[in-house]
Amino acid sequence: MPLLINLRHLEAHEIKLKGELPVEELDLDLRDEMCRAEKPLAYDLEVEQMEKNVLVQGRLELPLQCECVRCLKTFEHRLELKHWTRLLALEGEEKTPVDNDCVDLTPYVREDILLEFPQHPLCEAECRGLPAHKMGKAKKTTKPDDSTQPSSAWAELDKLKL
């Protein structure tokens, strides 16, 4: 179920919205393999009508399952918008769509959540990457017999008499 605001309820007083929005409703369409949203978005919002606008303020939180781009370790990253604010116009050029006296906040939440996604998730800021393995000394190789080795294209070109 999308995150809806009934404008009729705002006529008398401000309303508070608190709950969770399933990830499927956000329709994030993530193509990044390093971050996955598997748990619901938690929201705690206050909504009030201001003349011909609706002001939404509050907190959004979405836990992400990430893979460190340096060491490939999986970890949880909490994407938090502590002071999320959105002003929705009810009239004018940038009028917010209203359906049956309800405004859907889901597209606005989706947009701001996607902008906050980590581009290069790190398990910790000082992550050094994959552990370096001790390198062994290179084994001595014997030079192959020239008669058994196929000639290269450059060797064939060297034979040309120009």
- In the prediction, which pLDDT does 46 show? 94
- In the prediction, which pLDDT does 137 show? 57
Mean pLDDT, range 83-109, rounded to an integer: 89
- In the prediction, which pLDDT does 92 show? 85
- In the prediction, which pLDDT does 154 show? 80
- In the prediction, which pLDDT does 124 show? 86
pLDDT, mean over the chain: 84
Helix (H, G, I), strand (E, B) or coil at 91: coil
The full set of domain ranges for the chain reads 4-115
Question: pLDDT tens digits for 70-83?
Answer: 888 889 999 999 99
Residue 5 pairs with which residues in a beta bridge?
103
H-helix or E-strand spanning residue 45: strand 41-50
- In the prediction, which pLDDT does 80 show? 93
Model-level pTM?
0.71
Here the tokens at position 42 are 């938690």
- In the prediction, which pLDDT does 42 show? 93
Beta carbons within 8 Å of 69's beta carbon, 6+ residues apart: 34, 120, 121, 122
Residue 36 has pLDDT above 60, yes or no: yes
Question: pLDDT tens digits for 126-138?
Answer: 888 877 765 555 5
The CA distances from residue 27 to 6, 22, 64, in Å, are 22, 9, 15
